[in-house]
Amino acid sequence: MTFYRMKKFYAIALILGICLFACKRSSINFQSAQLTDYLQLQSGKYVIYRLDSLEFVNFGTQSTIVSYQAMDVIDTLITDNLGQPTWRVNRYLSDTTGTAPWAFNETYMITPTRNDIELVENNLRFIKLVLPIMNGFNWPGNSYIDTNVPIDTNGSVNNDPDLSYFANWNYVYDSVGDPYLTAGGLVSNSLIVNQTNQYYGDSTNPAAPSGVTYSQEVYGKGIGLIHKNLVHWEYQPPNIQDPVASYFGYGITLNMISHN
């Protein structure tokens, strides 16, 4: 090998070595937080929220907000119907001042797996968090839900409400590690999960059908869910069969007040 070819060979080898080192170093430097860092999965841990529930009354002709304090308490570790270790969570409600006795409201389940955090509520399984935790990472969080099958809040199949509005949600991480202000104060490290933002029609035109489905959740590191905003409604204008315009749907907002 001539001197010139040897110099060229070593130059190429040096460049390749630098590239490989840089790539390896870059992959080593990126480390995602653990999913359970953004939860408190321990018996007795709780989060208290201000809960505002959007309801449509008088045959859907009027909307109202019903407010409570809600306390979600980690109960115990059980095994779900898939054989996975699962945390049972009980929700209790009080008045907005928190002075009325806490009344049991519902139970839901949180299942931490190797790659995601799943939540089962009203027999619907959601994929709430996944790895890696990084801005812009996205996943189909409602992929376990058969959006063609209607279901009621007791888990029995009927014709109302329709679950099709859960279709095609694309969960996306945003503002990972940033502070977030709640009703209970500033949480120094949080992440936002933008789940969906869909609409159809023109909500400013009372003569045309329209609808909105919006959902966002925020998790605080070492706490769990600290904010939730879910709104789904559909508007039907007056027609021959029903001469009065009406809304159908619901909304729920949770804003953390305190936690232990």
How much is the pLDDT for 76?
97
Lowest mean pLDDT among 98-112, 139-153, 211-225, 241-255: 139-153
Place of tokens 């070819």: 5
Span between the terminal Cα atoms of the chain, in Å: 72
152's CB contacts (< 8 A; 6+ apart) are 158, 160, 161
How much is the pLDDT for 149?
60
Handedness of CA 252, 239, 147, 193 (dihedral sign): negative
**Distance between CA 138 and CA 117 in Å, rounded?**
14
Locate 163 and state its tokens. 């679950």
How much is the pLDDT for 223?
98
User: Tell me: the pLDDT tens digits for 43-72?
Assistant: 999 999 999 999 999 989 999 999 999 999
Mean pLDDT of the chain: 87
How much is the pLDDT for 78?
96
> Where are the domains positioned within the chain?
1-30, 32-259
Phi then psi dihedrals of residue 23, to 5 deg: -65, -45
How much is the pLDDT for 7?
46
147's CB contacts (< 8 A; 6+ apart) are 163, 164, 165, 166, 167
How much is the pLDDT for 32?
63
- Burial (CB < 10 A; 0-12, 13-18, 19+), residue 34, is exposed
**Distance between CA 183 and CA 90 in Å, rounded?**
22
How much is the pLDDT for 240?
84
Q: Give the distance between the most distant pair of CA atoms in the chain.
A: 93
How much is the pLDDT for 150?
53
User: Tell me: the pLDDT tens digits for 159-188?
Assistant: 445 899 999 999 999 999 999 999 999 999
User: Tell me: the pLDDT tens digits for 72-89?
Assistant: 999 999 998 889 999 999
Chain-centre distance of CA 1, in angstroms? 63
